[in-house]
């Protein structure tokens, strides 16, 4: 999950437009071309406006979402809501959104490499011999993130998204992308994608092969490597359910802010999602 400003990726730039012309203050919505390229079908993101829907708007709001999905063939719509806005969260749940995740922004300002623990191993930048090993890790190591925690979203597609993510990061198309790895060429046991924007580095995506206990040192080494690139601040978006990562960020001195709830609205006409009848019902 990205914490840096939106960046253009050629044809993958999302274009946000009002969800409803007659209720423009509700917010804006865009198809996510990069995710569509990974999944093979459209998905969308809704960004709340200055006057989100009210209780009296629920029926019209739901119909407007359905109309958007029908016109664009989008199968789901995601939205992020400040965690403190419990009234709006309750309204979105009434409008048939499903609660999926609770995210946090982690920040380490005024980066001082000398304050970081000494590395137990050396991180190096990935070379072409490492690519396939990185993709294999992507295909099995992730359990968090809104697509992985959505019971109606196929796990193999959620994994494919991260494989495609790393293909792009390793392509060299953006000079701000750096991928650091642990292990010998062709035998990578862990990786971290670092995106550098001016003096801020985003630990954008990282993972270790299952059963390889290198997580803390991967984060510490990536933070130190970000400093070597000239970063003065390091940030990362994280799922609050990922306790191990929270503990690692805390041990490294990161601060936590911007708590958000993430929800998905699933199109009734979706053909690629797991059917709602196959998803276990929550116990009251």
- Which residues have a Cβ under 8 Å from the Cβ of 105 and sit 6 or more positions away? 3, 235, 236, 237, 238, 256, 257, 258
Residue 103 backbone class (left: φ over 0; alpha: ψ -120 to 50; beta: rest) = beta
Does residue 5 lie in a domain region? Answer: no
Task: List Cα–Cα distances, 200 to 25, 135, 179, 194, in angstroms.
Answer: 32, 26, 16, 10
Does residue 27 lie in a domain region? Answer: yes
Give Rg (Cα) of the chain.
20
Strand order in the sheet with 233-239: 17-18, 27-31, 44-48, 76-82, 255-266, 97-108, 233-239, 200-208, 187-197, 177-184, 124-125
Q: Same structural domain for residues 127 and 41? A: no
Q: Same structural domain for residues 85 and 169? A: no
Query: Per residue in 84-143, pLDDT tens?
Result: 999 999 999 999 999 999 999 999 998 988 888 877 778 999 999 999 999 999 999 999
pLDDT at 247: 93
Query: Per residue in 3-23, pLDDT tens?
Result: 544 444 444 689 999 999 999
pLDDT at 198 over 70: yes
Q: Which CATH number belongs to the domain containing residue 168 in this structure?
A: 3.40.630.30
CB atoms within 10 A of CB 262: 21
Q: Same structural domain for residues 254 and 181? A: yes
Task: For residue 277, name the pLDDT band (cuts at 50, 70, 90).
Answer: low
For the chain, what is the domain count? 2
pTM: 0.89
Q: Same structural domain for residues 187 and 202? A: yes
CB atoms within 10 A of CB 162: 23
pLDDT at 122: 84
Location of structure tokens 């200055």: 50
- State which residues form the domain around 236: 107-259
Question: Quick one: which of 177, 156, 157, 139 has its CA closest to 37?
Answer: 157
pLDDT at 279: 57
Q: How many Å from the N-terminal Cα to the C-terminal Cα in the chain?
A: 31
Q: How far apart are CA 113 and CA 198, in angstroms?
A: 18
pLDDT at 278: 54
Q: Within its chain, how far is the Cα of 199 from the centroid?
A: 21
Query: Per residue in 145-175, pLDDT tens?
Result: 899 999 999 999 999 999 999 999 999 889 9
Q: What percent of the chain has pLDDT over 90?
A: 81
Q: Same structural domain for residues 57 and 163? A: no
Q: Same structural domain for residues 230 and 270? A: no
The better pLDDT of the pair 258, 116 is held by 258
Question: Quick one: which of 257, 180, 269 has its CA closest to 226?
Answer: 180
Contact 224, 235 (CB under 8 A): no
pLDDT at 283: 41
Query: Per residue in 29-65, pLDDT tens?
Result: 999 999 999 999 999 999 999 999 999 999 999 999 9
């Amino acid at each position: 999950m990205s914490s840096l400003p939106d960046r253009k990726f050629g044809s993958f730039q999302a274009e946000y437009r009002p969800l409803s012309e007659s209720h423009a203050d509700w917010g804006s919505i865009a198809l996510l071309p990069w995710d569509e390229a990974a999944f093979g079908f459209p998905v969308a993101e809704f960004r709340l406006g200055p006057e989100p829907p009210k209780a009296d708007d629920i029926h019209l709001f739901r119909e407007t979402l359905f109309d958007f999905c029908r016109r664009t063939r989008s199968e789901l719509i995601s939205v992020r809501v400040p965690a403190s806005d419990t009234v709006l969260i309750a309204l979105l749940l009434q409008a048939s959104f499903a609660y999926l995740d609770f995210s946090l922004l982690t920040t380490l300002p005024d980066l001082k490499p000398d304050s970081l623990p000494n590395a137990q191993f050396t991180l190096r930048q990935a070379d072409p011999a490492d690519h396939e090993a990185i993709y294999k890790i992507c295909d099995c190591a992730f359990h968090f993130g809104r697509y992985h925690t959505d019971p109606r979203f196929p796990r193999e597609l959620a994994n494919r998204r991260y494989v495609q993510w790393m293909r792009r990061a390793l392509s060299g198309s953006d000079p701000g992308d750096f991928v650091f790895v642990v292990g010998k060429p062709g035998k990578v046991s862990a990786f971290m994608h670092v995106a550098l924007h001016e003096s801020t580095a985003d630990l954008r995506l990282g993972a270790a092969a299952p059963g390889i206990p290198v997580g803390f040192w991967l984060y510490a080494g990536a933070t130190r490597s970000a400093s070597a690139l000239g970063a003065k601040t390091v940030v990362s978006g994280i799922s609050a359910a990922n306790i191990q990562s929270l503990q690692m960020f805390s041990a490294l001195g990161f601060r936590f802010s911007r708590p958000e709830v993430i929800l998905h609205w699933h199109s009734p006409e979706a053909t690629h999602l797991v059917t709602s009848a196959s998803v276990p019902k929550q116990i009251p």
